Amino acid sequence: ISGLFRNVVGGKLLTHEDLEKPMRGMEEHLLNKNVAREAAIRLCEGVERSLVGVKTGSFQTIDATIRAAMESSLRKILTPTSSLDLLREIQSVTSPSLASMQSRRPYVISIVGVNGVGKSTNLSKIAFFLLQNKYRVLIAACDTFRSGAVEQLRVHARNLKELGEREGGFVELYEKGYGKDAANTAKDAVSYATQASFDVVLIDTAGRRHNDQRLMSSLEKFAKFAQPDKILMVGEALVGTDSVQQARNFNAAFGAGRHLDGFIISKCDTVGEMIGTLVSMVHATGIPVVFLGTGQHYSDLRTLNIGWAVKLLMS
């Protein structure tokens, strides 16, 4: 981007005309990072608004001024407004304090998203993470539609059993085969987990197009039946503009008063510096990124390091 921004140095009162061309360069830069056009334009408008009438610092180019403003606005939208400490939240449900007068119950996480984005794989990675923390985890196979979905989780559960028990955790698969109603299966899995004193239930769901009315509307019943503590949506880093609508439609699918609790941005290892999808999805909904998927193995799960993300986006 540098070429476009090289101009006036220091102590300049910025006008719309000064900013117009370099802002267009910045917009194109974001598009190149796979930020959806809608999000890129809005981010740029925000930055421009904040800079018109501002005096550039001494020895500061317009270029550097815009960069700094964009960096801070990216940092701001990516920073969650509340704590994302999953383990602590689980703890508060599985070992409630006496004062809360709650009885212990399993913590329920369900994973949703469009087809093939990495729901089942990242669910298994979360299971591995929980096993490392010595939890008793029930994986519920509620994708009762896609061929091989149940067997896929069976293989993961078998692998994780071996790995996890070495770490002091315990994992089991709950499955009722294909063709069953997913909401019912989820509900049964949660009751079973309560009886068998599991700490966490991880519910896998079938991939669904966010523009498929029928499949999307079944999510409302699903949420009512499974009563998840957390609904995490997997968004794929490879996806372009569609990520905005995916995030919005899933966020609105769970009925009044219930929305997504976080995103898992998968396949970050496949996009290099083009990590714009996470900006698009957060921008569209204000929902935070809880995890990043960075590969196909159980340990390829990270929390979002905002400094890292902003650096890649601005590089």
Partner 1 sequence: MVLQDLGRRINAAVSDLTRSSNLDEKAFDGMIKEICAALLEADVNVKLVGNLRKSIKQTVNFKELAPGVNKKRLIQKAVFDELVKLVDPHAEPFKPKKGRSNVIMFVGLQGAGKTTTCTKLARHYQSRGFRSCLVCADTFRAGAFDQLKQNATKAKIPYYGSLTQTDPSIVAREGVEQFKKERFEVIIVDTSGRHRQEQDLFDEMVQIQRAVTPDQTIMVLDASIGQQAEAQSKAFKETADFGAIIITKTDGNASGGGAISAVAATHTPIVFIGTGEHMLDLERFSPQPFVSKLLGMGDMQGLVEH
Q: DSSP characters for 258-271?
A: ----EEEEE-GGGS
Task: Give me 117's structure tokens.
Answer: 């984005």
Q: Which residue is nearest to ligand GTP (CB)?
A: 207
Q: What angle do CA 214, 216, 219 make, to 5 degrees?
A: 115
Q: Judged by CB under 6 A, how many residues of this single chain contact ligand GTP? A: 23
Chain CA centroid to CA 109, Å: 13
Task: Give me 25's structure tokens.
Answer: 């360069």
**Nearest by Cα to 189 from 142, 154, 143:** 142
Task: Give me 273's structure tokens.
Answer: 């510096």
Our finding on whether 120 is near Mg ion (CB under 5 A) is yes
Q: Which stretch binds ligand GTP (CB under 6 A): 23-31, 54-62, 116-124, 157-165?
A: 116-124
| Helical pair 62-78 and 16-32, crossing angle rounded to 10 deg | 50
Residue 155 binds which of ligand GTP, partner 1, Mg ion, none (CB < 5-8 A, kind-dependent): partner 1
Q: What angle do CA 197, 198, 202 make, to 5 degrees?
A: 150
Q: Which of 184, 295, 302, 306 binds ligand GTP (CB under 6 A)?
A: 295
Task: Specify the DSSP class assigned to residue 55.
Answer: B
Residue 236 binds which of partner 1, ligand GTP, Mg ion, none (CB < 5-8 A, kind-dependent): partner 1
Our finding on whether 185 is near ligand GTP (CB under 6 A) is no
CA distance 48 to 205: 42
Chain CA centroid to CA 278, Å: 8
Q: How far is the CB of 120 from Mg ion (least distance, A)?
A: 3
Residue 293 binds which of partner 1, Mg ion, ligand GTP, none (CB < 5-8 A, kind-dependent): ligand GTP
Q: How far is the CB of 155 from Mg ion (least distance, A)?
A: 12
Nearer to ligand GTP, 27 or 143 (CB): 143
Q: Which stretch binds ligand GTP (CB under 6 A): 45-53, 94-102, 188-196, 292-300?
A: 292-300
Q: How far is the CB of 244 from Mg ion (least distance, A)?
A: 23
Our finding on whether 144 is near Mg ion (CB under 5 A) is no
Greatest CA separation for the chain: 70
Nearer to ligand GTP, 235 or 288 (CB): 235
List contacts with ligand GTP (CB under 6 A): 113, 115-122, 143, 146, 149, 207, 209, 266-267, 269-270, 293-296, 300
